[in-house]
Amino acid sequence: MLNLIFLLLMGSALAYISKFNLAPISVNLGYYVISNVPLFYVIVGSLLIGLVISFLMQLLKNISNAFILRSKKKEIKTSQEEILELTKRVHQLELENEKLKHTDAEISDPNAL
C-alpha cells in the first residue's frame, strides 16, 4: 500500500514537472545529435539512468559483501572444527593424566607386592 501511495505521488510530481517543461531541445550524445526532444523526457531519462547506475553499483557491492561473508563463514567453520578437535584432545589428555595419577599412587604404595 505504501508503494502504491509513493508511485502515485511520484506520478503526480512528474505530471506537474512535465506541464512546464515541454520546450524542445537538442541532445548531443557524442557524435549523435537528437533534436526536438522535450525537456521533460531529458529530465526523466537522466533520473532513470541515475537510478539504474546506482542500482548496479549497489548490486556489485552486495555481491562483493556476499563473497566476503562466504569466506568468513568458512573461516568460522574451520575454527569451530579446530576448537572441537582441541577440546577432544584436552579431554584425552585429562584422562591420561588421571590414569597416570592413579598408576603412580599404586607404584609408590609401600605395601604393594
26 part of a folded domain: yes
**Residue in 9, 19, 61 with CA at minimum distance from that of residue 43:** 19
Domain containing 100 equals 13-107
Report pLDDT digits (tens) over 88-98: 999 999 999 98
Residue 110 has pLDDT above 90, yes or no: no
CA distance 40 to 44: 6
61 part of a folded domain: yes
1 part of a folded domain: no
2 part of a folded domain: no
Report pLDDT digits (tens) over 2-60: 889 988 998 898 888 888 888 999 999 889 999 999 998 898 899 899 999 999 999 99
113 part of a folded domain: no
38 part of a folded domain: yes
Count: domains in the chain: 1
Percent of the chain predicted with pLDDT > 70: 91
Residue 30 Rama label (left phi>0; alpha psi -120 to 50; beta):
left
Q: Are 18 and 39 a contacting pair, CB within 8 Å?
A: no
52 part of a folded domain: yes
pLDDT category, 87, cuts 50, 70, 90?
A: very high
